[in-house]
Structure 1
Amino acid sequence: MDGWVRWRTAMRQALYGEGGFYRRGERPAAHFRTSVHASPHFADAVAQLLAHVDAALERPSRIDLVDIGAGSGELVVRILQTADPDLAERLNPVAVELAPRPSSLPGRITWRPTLPDAVTGLVIANEWLDNVPLDVVELTPEGPRLVLVDPATGAERPGPAPADEDLAWLERWWPLENPGDRAEIGHPRCTAWSGVLSRLHAGLAVAIDYSHTREARPVHGTLTGYRDGHTVLPVPDGSCDITAHVALDACATAGAEAGATATVLTTQRRVLRALGLTGARPPIHLAHRDPRAYVHALRRAGEEAELIDPAGLGGFGWLAQAKHIPLPKPLQD
């Protein structure tokens, strides 16, 4: 890609174009730490949610589990291993991912690049929406302008005025006040999420991501890059992951308009604690009575603490939207 382009175009090519970051088979675990990679107890918590959904659907003969942005499929594999045997037998596990299918993935897991047309069950989108390409806008003395980027260097310059659709989204969800303020125009994420809800016939859809709400948007935006476990400048040349935090409140409205019948917007800390992850250290007397059990419990406590840390993974936003079932009890505030 040559010349100056808008960020949405550059991000799409850098991540998903020919030779793009995800198209060439890069695995998230090699570049940044997600909840799935931090501990298997995250998958165990998702399995508990799946059991709640299964019960609300009155234990159908087949129930879908769809993992969007599945990476190497670790989440689905763990759930298959640990779910109740009856539920596991009825489970239709689907991993949605653009990268090539891992050779070690169990054969019963469907691997596909796009969402299924219809889902009855649970959809999990863990750190997916933050990779949906979007444009960046900056308020200049002449008004809001799209930010153009040189894909080879990451250098930026002001471009044309945003389209009416962009301006309408900004006015509703991310109004800019002072020259130099920046925003990421989130309606592509809203569209992507409404597409999930429109395919959900009955069940629960959950988006888990870096997020913010209208009351606390960052004045300079959140666009950044990740490579080899480090934050880097977001140069859209295919060499790094490029991401921006998600306006989950806007996505919640899009999901409701697509048919969601119940919604909660909360944090990972609150949900996982409601599902029994506390990070509590084991009693010291266990170290004397059963040292091996103590070490195991201590390791689990450390993993749980990382998952619910409000300054880290525990601070991730959880947008959960149900369709034709009640919200599972752990998601009810």
Structure 2
Amino acid sequence: MAMQHALYGPEGFFTSANDGPADHFRTSVHASPLFAGALLRLIEAVDAALDRPRVLQVVDVGAGRGELLTALRAAAGGTELGDRLQLTGAEVAPRPAGLPADIRWRRDVPSGVVGLLLATEWLDNVPLDVAEIDADGRIRRVLVDPADGSESLGGGIDAADRFWLARWWPGAAPGDRAEIGWPRDLAWAEAVSSVRRGCALTVDYGHLRDSRPPLGTLTGFRGGRQVPPVPDGSCDVTAHVALDAVAVSVGQPYRIITQREALKALGVDGARPSLDLARSDPAGYLRALSAAGAAAELTDRDGLGAHWWLLHEVGIDLRGSI
């Protein structure tokens, strides 16, 4: 699979020892520490629902260079909860240089997690195949030349692909494309199965069955710009996630909400501070104004706020917290 090689091969985008992903695209994690602060409030709710265990695990799947775990560590520092947190990054790339020693790093997801399993913009990089409906109505696999990104149509797809498309991406017409998402369903179901008690949260670009994009979403990012998705390891190759298919694959209760809704429930709303604060505390007003700007970016309906949050509760009930 070209996407697998481009992202996770020997010289792949995520496995290369060169630039980190943050040099090429901006996520909520990179946008503002407010995102980590909101997740810490979610972690506090999970901790309370678990009756404050001796060790509370937080596992970040697809941890990049450890930015989110480092931010969570700083946000929880000096608190009773911080003393009980066990932070783990699950990532195919080597352990980043300079990562705090108390943050664990491994290639796979640990089993028996008691706490929170996180995956922020991971599923969009789980490799998948793309199919196109030809002029005769046949569903054919799209083939890509790794050297230049040129495309051609190959043979038909197999039974597993057909089954998934029939259920989750119906109604495609000649010329339409569909991204065959069952590898993401399996990846997320396997990750969530590692949670013994607590919850699992994935945050990502996505779409639902009634609004699949007719031409698909496969694209690339390099140096902060959108580029053609040439699978040569030089750029991020990504496609939006069929969130409802992923959700159903797990077999646990779930909720799907927008990031805008989720962050507002966790105290991030982007509201401008009162002008009264400017008169009584000008420096405080400027800090609050800066935070409001960062919150507005995280909750923008046309930007990061349009991300989807898929939350599974495993043996706990977080109603009232998010």
Alignment of 1:1-333 (within 5 A): 9-25=1-17, 26-83=19-76, 85-140=79-134, 141-256=136-251, 260=252, 262-331=253-322
- Which amino acid letter does the alignment assign opposite residue 211 of structure 1? G
CA shift at 1:100, angstroms? 2.3
Deviations 1:264-293 (A, max 9, x none): 011100010011111111122322332211
- For 1:226 and 1:184, how far apart are their aligned partners in 2? 18
Moved more, 158-167 or 278-287: 278-287
CA shift at 1:154, angstroms? 0.8
1:221 aligns to what SS in structure 2? coil
1:82 aligns to what SS in structure 2? helix
- For 2:192 and 2:56, how far apart are their aligned partners in 1? 16
Moved more, 94-103 or 16-25: 94-103
CA shift at 1:89, angstroms? 1.1
- For 2:59 and 2:16, how far apart are their aligned partners in 1? 22
1:133 aligns to what SS in structure 2? coil
Give me the TM-score of the superposition, normalised by structure 1. 0.93
- For 1:180 and 1:137, how far apart are their aligned partners in 2? 10
- For 1:27 and 1:127, how far apart are their aligned partners in 2? 14
Say whether the 8 Å CA contact 1:66–1:95 is kept in structure 2.
Answer: yes
2:156 aligns to what SS in structure 1? coil
Say whether the 8 Å CA contact 2:141–2:155 is kept in structure 1.
Answer: yes
Say whether the 8 Å CA contact 1:268–1:314 is kept in structure 2.
Answer: yes
CA shift at 1:102, angstroms? 2.0
Deviations 1:72-116 (A, max 9, x none): 212111212222711111111101122222222111110111111
1:24 aligns to what SS in structure 2? coil
- Which amino acid letter does the alignment assign opposite residue 157 of structure 1? S
- Which amino acid letter does the alignment assign opposite residue 184 of structure 1? E
- Which amino acid letter does the alignment assign opposite residue 269 of structure 2? T
Residues matched between the structures, number: 319
CA shift at 1:63, angstroms? 1.3
What's 1:4 paired with?
none
Say whether the 8 Å CA contact 1:139–1:181 is kept in structure 2.
Answer: yes
- Which amino acid letter does the alignment assign opposite residue 183 of structure 2? P
Say whether the 8 Å CA contact 1:56–1:326 is kept in structure 2.
Answer: yes
2:274 aligns to what SS in structure 1? coil
Deviations 1:182-216 (A, max 9, x none): 00000000000000121111110001000000000
Moved more, 120-129 or 80-89: 80-89
- For 1:71 and 1:52, how far apart are their aligned partners in 2? 25
1:136 aligns to what SS in structure 2? strand
- For 2:172 and 2:95, how far apart are their aligned partners in 1? 46
Give me the TM-score of the superposition, normalised by structure 2. 0.96
Deviations 1:35-83 (A, max 9, x none): 0110001001000111111111111111110011112212111212222
2:321 aligns to what SS in structure 1? helix
Say whether the 8 Å CA contact 1:15–1:242 is kept in structure 2.
Answer: yes
1:105 aligns to what SS in structure 2? coil
Deviations 1:129-170 (A, max 9, x none): 000000000011151001111111111111111110000000
Moved more, 246-255 or 140-149: 140-149
Say whether the 8 Å CA contact 2:6–2:231 is kept in structure 1.
Answer: yes
- Which amino acid letter does the alignment assign opposite residue 81 of structure 1? A
CA shift at 1:245, angstroms? 0.1
Say whether the 8 Å CA contact 2:131–2:177 is kept in structure 1.
Answer: yes
- For 1:113 and 1:39, how far apart are their aligned partners in 2? 27
Unaligned runs of 5+ in 1: 1-8
- Which amino acid letter does the alignment assign opposite residue 325 of structure 1? I
